[in-house]
Amino acid sequence: MSNRNYPLKVASFKIIILEQAISEITESCLYYNKKIPGLGFEFEEEIFQLLELIKDNPLLFPIKFAHIHEAVVTRFPFVINYEVFGKQIIISAIFHAKQHPDKKVKRKRK
């Protein structure tokens, strides 16, 4: 048998982004684009790269509250909160890291 690395077949997950989280992305993109043209698009790209990482490995990021995982965005001071239910990943919030943590937890899924 050869000494080759074979990719593991991993169950695929579906990401569902709640409306509130979409609004947070949109508002933040607009804010960053006003500060520096094009920066909002870079922010959006960072968010979607992190969402892909979450989709590929949802258990990679720690649980911070109850069953809510928290992934930190690298270039921007934001976090993504999500829960895993079977094969679904629910993105419940995308927050500026300096926002009060209680506000993150109090958000309810619709």
Mean pLDDT of 16-41: 97
pLDDT at res. 99: 72
Q: pLDDT per residue over 30-44, tens digit each? A: 999 999 999 999 999
Confidence of residue 47 (pLDDT cuts 50, 70, 90): very high
Confidence of residue 98 (pLDDT cuts 50, 70, 90): confident
Per the CB < 8 A criterion, the answer to whether 68 and 92 are in contact is yes
Q: What is the value of pTM for the model shown? A: 0.79
Q: Give the full edge-to-edge strand order of the sheet including 88-96.
A: 14-17, 88-96, 78-85, 68-72, 63-65
Q: Largest alpha-carbon pair distance within the chain?
A: 58
Helix (H, G, I), strand (E, B) or coil at 99: coil
Q: What domains can be seen in the chain, in order of their start residue?
A: 14-96 (3.30.2310.20)
pLDDT at res. 109: 47
